[in-house]
Amino acid sequence: MQVHIPSVKITFNMLNFLYYKTKILNKNLNIKKHYIYLMKNNILFSKVSLLIVVLIFFTNSATTSLGYKQFSNNTIKETQEKYDLLIITPMVFSEYLQPLVNHKNKYDVKTIITTVEEIYTQIYWKGKDDAEKVKYFIKEAIEQWQIKYVLLVGGRKDQSKTETWWVPVRYSYLSRPYDTWPETKFLTDLYFADIYDSKGNFSSWDDNDNGIFGEWPINKASLDIPDLYPDVCVGRLPCSNIYDVKIVVNKIIQYENSVFDDSSWFKKMVVVAGDTYPDKTDYIDGENYTQQALDIMSDFEPVKIWSSLNNLKTKNIVKAINQGCGFIFFSTHGGPGSVSTHPPNNSDEWIGRFGLRNMPFLINNNRLPVCTAGSGCFVSMFNVSLGHTDWVYWHGIPYTIPRCWSWSLVRKPYGGCISVISSTAFSYESPDIDSGVGGCEWLDIHFYEKYAKNNITILGECWANTITSFLQNFTINWSDKSNTGDAMIAKNCEQWLLIGDPSLKIGGYN
């Protein structure tokens, strides 16, 4: 593996050696300081090494549109070659993602893998941290390859208390409590999709350059004003190991290869709902929202699991999924490991609990639904672990599960879901917000509008276009200091996460 600059050849291992041993290449030092450092640390072995340092210094001052980009098994120069899907993953997973690359290329979705190790080496001169380096790389890939989709394959490395990541994450520091429960930060992958601001500049999410991203302190106006509009469709598969990778790659390939001539199962839409906020609305809100989605999906057979029908039971949810459905919409409360809700006009009773303990009973094989569950707080909180999760609802009390609800559904072998779009933190329905608009239910409902009314059949495009429409409909006042104001609208948008393949053809290629 080599990098070519004019007529000089430098091996990838040599660059890695200097990068990891000196740990200074990410700093804006001049060549004299590089030379002195290397001399003091006995790293300067020859004139060749000095030449390497000179070249590194040269690239450190270069612009972003370099002519020598090194990618997994591919060297991109100034070329006319374009790609649709960029997969970003650690080197250890790349071999097991190759079948997915071959599959995508078969359907003319031109796909390329790039490892995070290579990104960190290439983008060492940019970015405050690894997540920003990945974002700068996505920007380069958009401009050189015209990519439309980015799939991040990698989650936490282990189940320990300390978070270490195969593919980096971004926490947004939009700090707003839910009632009396504080929440100072949350996971967002929209950060990796929002590449440009309204003027076409890099959207850093860190306007004051203090290393705190999406910062909106409690009782204050926002210090950062991110653009939020997706410039590329981003999804994540938070795999922890090779086994995870094999499962989801196989599920995606089998799903897209399926020919749904007998589409009776796919043409079903399951909705699971009750009275989410008995004390805040005079209607059964979850059932109201899911009915709106059913009205949009008029070509689909409705399967209602509702509290008002007295069939909102765990066994009925499992049965409906096992019988097969193209879509399933949960409008419920949630936590990292389960969802549940209330019967009509009774906020004291909880019903319809469906969680990790029930998922082993899902045996729907390739009859895999696309799932939305935006009202469920924390269900896509993919930083959980057996070691410990500092879940804000039970702040300070260990909440130990191996993976979150959404990822467990997507990762489930021989069943579950093909994707889940939901919330990583406290989510807010419209009754939670002072203005009464901009709730998370709007995102879920209008996702189905993009599919059924706008005829968008690519999963990530439905996700991105829904967010775009959301931002066009609801203006965010970034000066709002209240706890229940416009910050909640921004937060709903930032945390509405796609766990799945953004290039997925909904319903498969038939």
Q: 510 falls in which pLDDT band (50, 70, 90)? A: confident
pLDDT (average), residues 210-218:
97
H helices of 107-224, in order, are 116-122, 130-145, 190-193
List pLDDT tens digits, range 37-78. 333 333 333 444 434 433 333 333 333 333 333 444 443 444
How many residues are given for the chain?
510
CA distances from 440 to 252, 376, 450 (A): 27, 9, 16
Q: Which of 52, 45, 47 is nearest to 8 (CA)?
A: 52
List pLDDT tens digits, range 75-96. 344 457 899 999 999 999 999 9
Quote the percentage of the chain above a pLDDT of 70.
82
The answer to whether 114 and 88 have CB atoms below 8 angstroms apart is yes
The token pair at 19 is 């990068």
Query: For strand 268-273 and strand 186-187, is the pairing parallel, antiparallel, or unpaired?
Result: unpaired
User: How many Å apart are CA 380 and CA 187, to the nearest integer?
Assistant: 9
The answer to whether 285 and 333 have CB atoms below 8 angstroms apart is no
CA distances from 201 to 125, 205, 207, 403, 423 (A): 18, 12, 12, 36, 28
pLDDT (average), residues 446-472:
98
pLDDT (average), residues 111-139:
94
User: How many Å apart are CA 350 and CA 41, to the nearest integer?
Assistant: 64
Q: Any long-range contacts for 47-52 (C-beta under 8 Å, 24+ apart)?
A: 51/8, 52/10, 52/14, 52/15, 52/18
Computed over every residue of the chain, the mean pLDDT equals 86
Q: What's the pLDDT at 390?
A: 65
H helices of 366-485, in order, are 405-411, 440-452, 459-473
Q: What's the pLDDT at 150?
A: 98
Q: Is the pLDDT of residue 127 over 70?
A: yes
Residues of CATH 3.40.50.1460 domain(s) within the chain? 257-331+339-499
Q: Is the pLDDT of residue 385 over 60?
A: yes
List pLDDT tens digits, range 286-339. 999 999 999 999 999 999 999 999 999 999 999 999 999 999 999 999 999 999
Is 3.20.20.140 the CATH classification of the domain at 257-331+339-499? no
Q: 155 falls in which pLDDT band (50, 70, 90)? A: very high
User: How many Å apart are CA 430 and CA 436, to the nearest integer?
Assistant: 5
Q: In 3-state terms, what secondary structure has residue 171?
A: strand
Question: pTM for the whole thing?
Answer: 0.85
Strand partners, 498: 421
Q: 399 falls in which pLDDT band (50, 70, 90)? A: confident
Q: How many angstroms separate the first and last alpha carbons of the chain? A: 39
Q: Which of 308, 313, 258, 254 is nearest to 285 (CA)?
A: 308
User: How many Å apart are CA 429 and CA 412, to the nearest integer?
Assistant: 29
The token pair at 106 is 């078969």
Q: Is the pLDDT of residue 426 over 70?
A: yes
Q: Which of 292, 317, 324, 271 is nearest to 452 (CA)?
A: 292
Q: 258 falls in which pLDDT band (50, 70, 90)? A: confident
Q: What's the pLDDT at 393?
A: 46
The answer to whether 68 and 77 have CB atoms below 8 angstroms apart is yes
State the virtual CA torsion across 69, 71, 77, 78 in degrees, nearest 10: -90
The DSSP string of 39-80 is: HHTT---SHHHHHHHHHHHHHHTS-SS-S-EEETTEEE-S--
The answer to whether 190 and 467 have CB atoms below 8 angstroms apart is yes
